[in-house]
Amino acid sequence: MEKLSGEIEKYKEFNDLIFHKKISEVLNGKKIQGVVSIDGETNIVDTLEILKMNRVFSASIFVPPESNPYNATKEFSKDLVGNYRGMIGTYEIVSFMLGFFFQDQAVISSSILPGTDKKIVVDAWTNPKPKEIKKRYGYFKETPIVDIIRLSPHLKENTELQCYCYTTDTISMALRQFSESHLTRLPVVDYDKIVGVLSRSDILKQLISKELVDKLPLGVFNSPLSALEGQLQINRDFWTIDESELASYAFQLMEEHKQQSIAIIRGKHQLVSNFSLSDLRGITISNIEDLNLPLKEYLATLDKPPGQIISITMQTTLLETIQLIIDSNIHGLWITTTDNTDSSNIIGYLSVKHLTDLIYHFIKLI
């Protein structure tokens, strides 16, 4: 490890990027700039429509000064830091809404770790879907989105809700912010206003840019994952679920076990697809009942055919892993042995968070 961190010090371009490049420069290079801002009093139904219309998974929530103890100026603006309450995503909204539809329990077959079959009890959505949706529509139409932030166990910690970085911060400072939280995105502040959003993927994109990719510390980035296993926190506590089970069951398994993704299998071990939180993007009140479809049918509504598993092995290099995640526009990869069609060959799951935390681990040693 000391040898690798010592090698990093010799690469001027890499060090300049990490320790000197400002977040403002990163934002200026993004294709989509600015931030999707939503008034905290906007109702749940309209919030989902705004997220879908802007093709985003999450947005910043702002509340009037009288509702926010952090605002000392009492001025209301949907970009003022003092009015910022936090970021909320489709995931938290769907989780809140499904709680009103589950009225029974079902037993499904799942497994944790390859070959360990297990019966799992999950909440079941048993009432007629259209009728139940219509009955709850009025409530969702009247409930302000800020209420979910107040109630959600995923969002209740004020330390994370108030977490952001500044345009004058460097990439290394943003990496530290990310490492100290479970957030995947950070609002970016310029003076007293939020002007953009920085994601973990934005940082990884900087590393594989044309200007830098050939100037990276090769001893680190050309190393196979197996050589970095001691520092790379691979998620080996993963779950599988059959494609015939309902999408809502898969969602509940991920939520209960704090997983970003779940492997979809056919039969005993055939690995056919992947279900992740990103697959909730575009959910609104008009199509939330699709989560009561079998996974195979639900993924078909997303134009996500089975059999498209993107995976790596422990011999894949760190650089190849980052490039594959960015090029595929995904947030994580399954690690398998040479055969990625058999779920018994899954070794673990590697996310963007794992990669950015690894890079921060290295730069701390410099």
Reading the block at residue 39, the tokens are 């008034």
Domains of the chain: 2-364 (3.10.580.10)
Annotate 96-108 with three-state secondary structure. HHHCCCCCEEEEE
User: How far apart (Å, rounded) are the C-alpha atoms in residues 57 and 203?
Assistant: 18
Give pLDDT, residue 131: 57
Report which of residues 123 and 227 the model is more confident about.
227
Give pLDDT, residue 272: 84
For 229, other C-beta atoms within 10 Å of its C-beta total 12
User: How far apart (Å, rounded) are the C-alpha atoms in residues 83 and 61?
Assistant: 8
First to last CA, the chain: 11
Give pLDDT, residue 319: 94
Above 80 in pLDDT, residue 115? no
User: How far apart (Å, rounded) are the C-alpha atoms in residues 215 and 133?
Assistant: 55
Q: Which residues have a Cβ under 8 Å from the Cβ of 159 and sit 6 or more positions away?
A: 181
User: How far apart (Å, rounded) are the C-alpha atoms in residues 44 and 286?
Assistant: 12
Question: At 339, is the pLDDT very low, low, confident or very high (cuts 50, 70, 90)?
Answer: low
pLDDT tens for 274-300 read 888 888 888 998 888 888 889 999 988
User: How far apart (Å, rounded) are the C-alpha atoms in residues 229 and 43?
Assistant: 45
User: How far apart (Å, rounded) are the C-alpha atoms in residues 237 and 64?
Assistant: 42
CA distance to 98, 146, 208, per residue, from 342 (Å): 32, 43, 31
Instruction: Report which of 13, 51, 365, 357 is spatially closest to residue 200, judged by C-alpha positions.
Output: 357
